[in-house]
Amino acid sequence: MRRLENAFVTLNGTVLVLGLMAMSVVLGWNVVGRYLTGNSLTWADEVARYSMIWLTFLGSGLALREGAHAAITNAQEALPSQGQRALRALILLVLLGFFAFMVWVGIDYMNRMAVQRSAALRIPMKWVYAAMPVGFALMIVHLALIAPRYLRAGLQHPEETALG
């Protein structure tokens, strides 16, 4: 199971790196073209904008996994260990419910945008808005994978676990 989880995390990270590289190449090409020839790619801004939207949602699960989202831990740390575990279980349930709700809302919104097309690329906006349900579905998977460790000990940052 651990190998499958590592493969999933690696694949998620690789997709992010490749997406960021592609976005950088398009934007770099556009800047160079604008200054060397006086012309720019008409679709480059859209590609950059939509890539950034997708990269944000695709990376949110990895950020969740690393504890990089905003969190208030003072109340949790003030509780005894059983209370901490109960609070973490409640947090997991609330997050799971919120992520599932956002997948549902994202699919609904994505379907509402199916008839609209982007200005330059002329792609259905449905594919741009698909980033939301896909990203929240990935967050559900990441949450499910880290839930047992989180319930036992909370989120351990890499530098904390290295120090013991």
pLDDT one-digit tens code per residue, 10-55: 999 999 999 999 999 999 999 999 999 988 899 999 999 999 999 9
* 161, pLDDT greater than 50: no
Q: Is there a domain that residue 137 lies in? A: yes
**Residue 125 CB partners (closer than 8 Å, separation 6+):** 113, 114, 116, 117, 118
Number of folded domains that form the chain: 1
- In a domain, residue 161? The reply is no
pTM for the whole structure: 0.86
Please tell me the predicted confidence (pLDDT) of residue 71. Answer: 77
Domain presence at residue 141: yes
**DSSP helix/strand/coil, 1:** coil
pLDDT at 156: 56
Range of the domain at 43: 2-156
Across the range 66-76, mean pLDDT stands at 79
Is 24 inside a domain boundary? yes
Domain assignment present for residue 164? The answer is no
Let me know if residue 163 belongs to a domain: no
